Amino acid sequence: MNLHVPALAPEAAPVRTTCPYCGVGCGVLARPDGQGGASVAGDPQHPANFGRLCSKGSALGETLSLDDRVLHPEIAGRRVAWDEALDAVAEGFRRTIAAHGPDSVAFYLSGQLLTEDYYVANKLAKGFIGTPHVDTNSRLCMSSSVAAHRRAFGSDTVPGCYEDLDEADLLVLVGSNTAWCHPILFRRMLDAREKRGTKIVAIDPRQTQTGEEADLFLGIRPGTDTALFSGLLVHLADHGALDPRYIAEHTAGFEPALERARQIAPSIASTAAATGLTEAEVETFFTLFRTTQRVVTATSQGVNQSAQGTDKANAIINCHLATGRIGQPGMGPFSLTGQPNAMGGREVGGLANMLAAHMHFTPEEVDLVRRFWNAPNIITGEGMKAVALFEAIERGKIKALWVMGTNPAVSMPRADRVRAALQKLDTYVVSEVAADTDTVRARNAIVLPALAWGEKDGTVTNSERRISRQRAFLATPGEAKADWWIMAQVAKRLGHAKAFAWGNAAAVFREHAALSEFENRGTRDFDLGGLADITDAAYDAAAPVQWPLTRKAKAPQSRFFAQGGFFTRDRKARFVAVQKPALAQGTSDALPLRLNTGRVRDHWHTLTRTGKSPRLSAHRAVPFVEIHPDDAGVAGLTDGDLARVRTAHGAAVLEVMVTPGAQAGMLFAPMHWSEANTSDGRVGALAQGAVDPVSGQPELKATPASIAPEPYRSRGYLITRDMVAAPYGWWWARASLEGATGLIFASQDGAPEASALMRDLFPGATFSEYADPARGRYRAAAFRDARLLGVLALAPASERPTWDAAKAFFRTQELLEPSARRALISGRAESAGTGPLVCACHTVGLDTIRAAIKGGAHGVEAVGAACKAGTNCGSCIPEIRKLLASERAAGELAPASA
Ligand SMILES: Nc1nc2c(c(=O)[nH]1)N[C@H]1C(S)=C(S)[C@@H](COP(=O)(O)OP(=O)(O)OC[C@H]3O[C@@H](n4cnc5c(=O)[nH]c(N)nc54)[C@H](O)[C@@H]3O)O[C@H]1N2
Ligand SMILES: Nc1nc2c(c(=O)[nH]1)N[C@H]1C(S)=C(S)[C@@H](COP(=O)(O)OP(=O)(O)OC[C@H]3O[C@@H](n4cnc5c(=O)[nH]c(N)nc54)[C@H](O)[C@@H]3O)O[C@H]1N2
Ligand code: SF4
Ligand SMILES: [Mo]
């Protein structure tokens, strides 16, 4: 791969890199514009996406500005030189260790770090500082899958690869909103359906876009997956659908596991009763699974983020082992990883219960790693897992914490408590790229500016064990540094210069690969021996490659376990006798519902990146809660109202979305909003986080909750060119707009207060205004020399003015004609809007698509031809299909009611 810039090239050659969002790990071609930005396109040569990108990947170019970046080291808000900051970290750690021992120091890392960064953090903590308390946000993400793999396979091995999704005849998606969270894999699944008639089953308590697209949707009761897959195991056994040869030769423990499954779900009827499904649904699913050889069961957070997550995953793996459907084309259990480098973190040993390179804590393994690192302070056992770790901070047991690449003040369960616990620390270090995260602003910190995507260099591993390069294509901004470099500097100051003396990321990678093959001899799945001697030039040019890749192998191996060969002592897999499912906490009269949390299509976690993109911010602009119509009726709520959702741990005020897709008794709210971008929408504060007994992964999907109306007098929006603080007492959510920033708000204020506010915000400006205080309506636009500065609209709460039309006026800096000024505040502009955004790539709204359908576009392609919606990344195709169906249904009903 040699990217020569032709002498007369009109623009720079693209740089091959990898998307920094989800675990699909799509290849990206980034073309820098020479002004700090870049355009991006899918890399046609990358085997994860073959040129496609989803809405988030396509909008990466909109997230590169330096507006909100940390660009210099800071101590308690004061800008300092690197030396001073690094000395402060080293000194803080040294003091803490001297007074309280090395295990009073902790690291909280992230699946968004590069493998090289992760490796250095792990080595520093576990080998040199000598603290076992290193955990990562992956604890909240896929640690239950890791634990299930280890129980079943003896190692944390993902047996399959993406081609299995192309080659399966049945895809069972359990607790995965694939259409929104792994969109490019979902496109591959839909292609498989097109090509070979693959059936898709979605299992989820709520009807998602994935469920809408599936051939069979099973709306199970939360937390009951173990019963469903126990019932399936029994069904397979009773219908002669087992693979006795595979069970006998390659597994152990089948009988007790089946026996337990019979206690949990002996029949179709009992399975239906345990899961809330109908017997017909259960029977259809069981028959499909039994009669289809090529089955992939793909799992995500509906499985992992549960107090019974490890059992859920093992109940699923049991069914694949029992039928021998593993490690062959189109077959196997498949854990879809969330973050871009969740897998890299597992490889280096970033979790508190792993040591390094897929090794644990047997005396031999500890000794091996000690010798390889020449480590003076090697740890000998597991450290505390995330939930316990933050509790230990609260208790004063952990005194120094280094947070890197994650925002726990938002994303940990019981986030208010976690945030408060940070006050107890003596030394608090945050390596970040964004200046204003809740974790940075929680208290005085040593803030270290890290290189961001596009600036940093290294590798990530995707869900199918494929290692890809992230390459720098932008200049280093300010004084930002690579995370691995920062840690190596601190290591030097702690007296470990020799062991942390790498000159570049390639050197770190070589050491990581060398450890993976050190005294391995086929005893460990993770072996990168073939890359241990990679040169700097080869590393720079490296194409994506799967592991294992041993020194002797001619080619990497894409699947595991078709012929057994598990990483247990007897090389046999283990069936697991799972526990009867029971949710961690019961509902009560005070908390009669259950709060499920998760993601939306166009936002990423705590909004520090997707929040910068106007396109991505338009799909869902405010924090919301989905509720079933029956529950909404009981609570006296209608669509669009604001409601207070409460649990035993916290409360949030969210916009109500009434949908029959919600399960009665359940609420769903996205995890994305933080203190930095909403007044009252921090959903992480509400989640209980009861931990899975095996993996320590917290439950984030079923917290007992209540909901009640939160009445406000007025609703409205405020759009300003420059960021302004929201007035005290308002409920608000902030979103990026083209050329502006906007607040959608609710308030007890009326027209007079709104008018006073505009004068406060824009002193000396001229105003176009419309006020009707009696009716509680007010609109105003502020100008300086005919240049638009800001717009405010306020109306009685029931009217909820929308900004779709007004925001268009900020796209240019041009001076506005008097007629445009009048239109801006007339309120007429509203009805000319295109409605809520559906297609993020071409900014096409709901109303436009509806109009296209009414105008005769009767299929996805026709809609695309009429208004371009759905013609780029395709992430919105499920939503377009849904609109087509609802318009069709409305059309059919029309004559009857006419
Ligand atoms: N757009 C977008 N994509 C992302 C991310 C993002 O922030 N935004 N984050 C990435 C990351 S880190 C991750 S981990 C993945 C997560 O990807 P997903 O796991 O697909 O996403 P979630 O929305 O967290 O949860 C998935 C579903 O689990 C369901 N569920 C809840 N309880 C149960 C249950 O008891 N049983 C079953 N069967 N289902 C249940 C929920 O209703 C939800 O629809 O997404 C990755 N991709
Ligand atoms: N209620 C609820 N909570 C959840 C979940 C849920 O479904 N529901 N899901 C959980 C899951 S699966 C996950 S993965 C977590 C995600 O939660 P977090 O990891 O807390 O979320 P992010 O917003 O991705 O945080 C990443 C941070 O790293 C910064 N950053 C980006 N690039 C770099 C870099 O190169 N170096 C450094 N040092 N920093 C960088 C970003 O600015 C950002 O602040 O949330 C978990 N929490
Ligand atoms: S599916 Fe989308 S978010 Fe995930 S890696 Fe690909 S482009 Fe990025
Ligand atoms: Mo995740």
pLDDT given at position 674? 97
pLDDT of residue 892: 52
Q: Are residues 426 and 445 in the same domain?
A: yes
Give me the mean pLDDT over the 463-492 stretch: 98
CATH number for the domain that contains residue 602: 2.40.40.20
Cα torsion for 67, 73, 74, 75, to the nearest 10°?
160
Closest by alpha carbon to 219, among 301, 283, 292, 278? 278
Q: Could you identify the atom of ligand 3 that is nearest to the CA of residue 183?
A: 1
Ligand 3 center to 306 CA (angstroms): 25
Residue from 205, 298, 112 nearest 664 by CA = 205
Question: Which of 460, 454, 518, 639 has its CA nearest to residue 29?
Answer: 454
Q: Which residues of 728-754 are buried (b: 16+ CB within 10 A; e: fewer)?
A: eebbbbbbbbebbbbbbbbbebbbeeb
Of residues 73 and 876, more confidence is placed in 73
pLDDT at 9: 43
Mean of pLDDT values over 831-858: 82
Tokens of 642: 């604001």
pLDDT reported for residue 1 = 37
Q: Residue with the nearest Cα to atom 4 of ligand 1?
A: 181
Per-residue confidence (pLDDT) for residue 4, from 0 to 100: 42
User: 406 in ligand 2 pocket by Cβ < 6 Å?
Assistant: yes
Q: What value does the mean pLDDT of the chain take?
A: 94
Mean pLDDT of 305-316: 97
Please, what sign has the CA dihedral across residues 859, 865, 867, 868?
A: positive
The average pLDDT across 450-475 equals 98
Sheet holding 400-404, edge to edge: 78-79, 74-75, 446-449, 427-432, 400-404, 105-109, 134-136
Strands (E), 104-261: 105-109, 134-136, 170-174, 199-203, 216-218, 251-252
pLDDT(474) > 90: yes
Could you tell me if 208 and 281 lie in one domain? yes
Same-domain pairing of 859 and 873: yes
- 30: part of which helix (H) or strand (E)? strand 27-32
Provide, for the chain, the percentages of residues in helix, strand and coil under a 3-state DSSP scheme, each rounded to the nearest 5: 35, 20, 45
Atom nearest to 453 CA in ligand 2 = 35
- Which pLDDT score is estimated for 303? 98
Q: Each residue of 33-52: pLDDT tens digit?
A: 999 999 999 999 999 999 99
Ligand 2 pocket check for 452: Cβ under 6 Å: yes
Please name which ligand lies nearest the alpha carbon of 666.
1
Question: 884 alpha carbon to ligand 2 midpoint, in Å?
Answer: 35
Cα torsion through 805, 809, 812, 817, rounded to 10:
140
What pLDDT does 832 receive? 45
Q: Residue 448 belongs to a domain with what CATH number?
A: 3.40.50.740
- The preferred substitution site among 40, 50, 54 for testing ligand 3, maximizing ligand atoms within 8 Å of CB, is 54
Using CA positions, which residue lies closest to atom 7 of ligand 1? 604
In this structure, which ligand is nearest to the CA of 302? 1
Can you give the pLDDT at residue 833?
A: 56
Kindly tell me if the per-residue pLDDT of 2 is higher than 70.
no
| Whether 487 and 511 share a structural domain | yes
In the block, residue with structure tokens 């396509």? 58
Distance, CA 139 to ligand 4 centroid (Å)? 9
466-470: strand order across its sheet: 458-461, 466-470, 545-546
Which pLDDT belongs to residue 815? 79
Cα separation of 588 and 596, whole Å? 16
Instruction: Decide whether any atom of ligand 2 lies within 6 Å of the 317 Cβ.
Output: no
Q: Compute the average pLDDT of residues 367-375.
A: 98
Please give the number of the atom of ligand 3 that sits closest to the Cα of 21: 3
- Pocket of ligand 1 from Cβ distances under 6 Å: 22, 141, 174-177, 180-181, 203-206, 208, 220, 222-223, 225, 300-302, 306, 338-339, 596, 598-599, 601, 603-605, 701
CA of 468 from ligand 1 middle (Å) equals 24
Examine residue 322 and state whether it is found in any structural domain, yes or no: yes
User: Starting from the edge strand earliest in sequence, which strands make up the sheet with 170-174, in order?
Assistant: 216-218, 199-203, 170-174, 295-299, 332-335
Which residue, by CA, sits nearest to atom 17 of ligand 2? 411
> Going by CA atoms, what residue is nearest to atom 27 of ligand 2?
406
What's the rounded Cα separation, in Å, for the pair 281 and 275?
11
Among residues 718, 628, 645, which one has the least CA distance to residue 682?
Answer: 645
The ligand whose atoms approach the alpha carbon of 21 most closely is: 3
pLDDT for 145-181, tens place per residue? 999 999 999 999 999 999 999 999 999 999 999 999 9
Name which of 796, 793, 786 is nearest 827 in CA terms: 793
Nearest bound ligand to the CA of residue 453: 2
**Residue with CA at minimum distance from ligand 3 atom 6:** 26
Identify whether 185 is part of a domain: yes
Q: Which of the four pLDDT bands, split at 50, 70 and 90, describes residue 766?
A: very high
Ligand 2 in contact with 470 (CB < 6 A)?
no
The yes-or-no verdict on residue 80 having pLDDT over 90 is yes
Last residue of a domain, one of 683, 709, 735: 709
CATH of the domain at 207: 3.40.228.10
Structural domain for 308, as ranges: 154-335
- The secondary structure of residue 727, as a DSSP letter, is P
Q: Please give all residues whose beta carbon lies within 6 A of any atom in ligand 3, as ranges.
A: 19, 21-22, 24-26, 49, 53-54, 56-57, 182-184
Judgement on whether residues 381 and 447 belong to the same structural domain of the protein: yes
pLDDT of amino acid 344: 97
Question: Mean pLDDT over residues 717-733, rounded?
Answer: 95
Please indicate, yes or no, whether residues 773 and 741 belong to a single structural domain of this protein. Answer: yes
User: What does the pLDDT average to over 555-577?
Assistant: 95
Task: Kindly give the number of the ligand 2 atom that is closest to the alpha carbon of 141.
Answer: 12
Question: For atom 3 of ligand 2, which residue has the closest CA?
Answer: 411
Measured in Å, residue 601 CA sits from the centre of ligand 3 at 11
Domain membership flag for residue 769: yes
Identify the domain boundary among 486, 513, 546: 546
Q: Tell how far the Cα of 235 is from the centroid of ligand 2, in angstroms.
A: 40
Whether 76 is covered by a domain: the verdict is no
Question: pLDDT tens digits for 785-829?
Answer: 889 999 999 999 999 999 988 888 898 877 778 877 887 887 665
Task: Return the minimum-mean-pLDDT range out of 481-490, 640-649, 815-824.
Answer: 815-824
- Residue 67 counted as domain residue: no
What is the spatial distance between Cα 849 and Cα 855, in angstroms, rounded to a whole number?
Answer: 10
Q: Which ligand is located closest to the Cα atom of residue 458?
A: 2
302 C-alpha to center of ligand 1: Å?
6
Q: Is the per-residue pLDDT at 893 higher than 60?
A: no
User: 804: CA distance to ligand 4 center in Å?
Assistant: 32
* pLDDT at position 113 over 50: yes
Residue 195 sits in the same domain as residue 231: yes
In a domain, residue 282? The reply is: yes
Give the number of whichever ligand sits closest to the CA of residue 28: 3
- Name 658's bridge partners: 627
Q: Which atom of ligand 3 is nearest to the CA of 49?
A: 6
Does 555 map to a domain? no
354/489 same-domain check? yes
Query: For the chain, what is the domain count?
Result: 5
pLDDT at residue 821, rounded to an integer? 81
Element housing 703 (H / E): strand 703-709
Asked if omega into 159 is within 30° of 0 (cis), the reply is no
Give the rounded percent of residues in the chain with a pLDDT score beyond 70: 97
Co-location of 476 and 378 in the same domain: yes
Q: What is the CATH number of the domain that holds 853?
A: 1.10.10.1100
The CA distance from 475 to 118, in Å, is 23
Do residues 845 and 852 make contact, with C-beta atoms less than 8 angstroms apart? no
Q: Are residues 203 and 263 in the same domain?
A: yes
Say if 61 falls within a structural domain. Answer: no
Atom 18 of ligand 1, residue of closest alpha carbon: 176
Percent of the chain with pLDDT over 90: 89
> Cα–Cα distance between 618 and 873 in angstroms, integer?
16
Is the same domain home to 125 and 168? no
176 lines ligand 2 (CB under 6 A): no
Please indicate, yes or no, whether residues 397 and 534 belong to a single structural domain of this protein. Answer: yes
pLDDT at 897: 34
Per-residue confidence at 11, pLDDT binned at 50, 70, 90?
Answer: low
Residue of minimum CA distance from atom 2 in ligand 3: 54
Q: Contact at 8 Å (CB) between 740 and 796?
A: no
Nearest CA to ligand 2 atom 7: 598
Band of the pLDDT at 648, cuts 50, 70, 90? very high
Atom number, ligand 3, closest to the C-alpha of residue 55 = 2
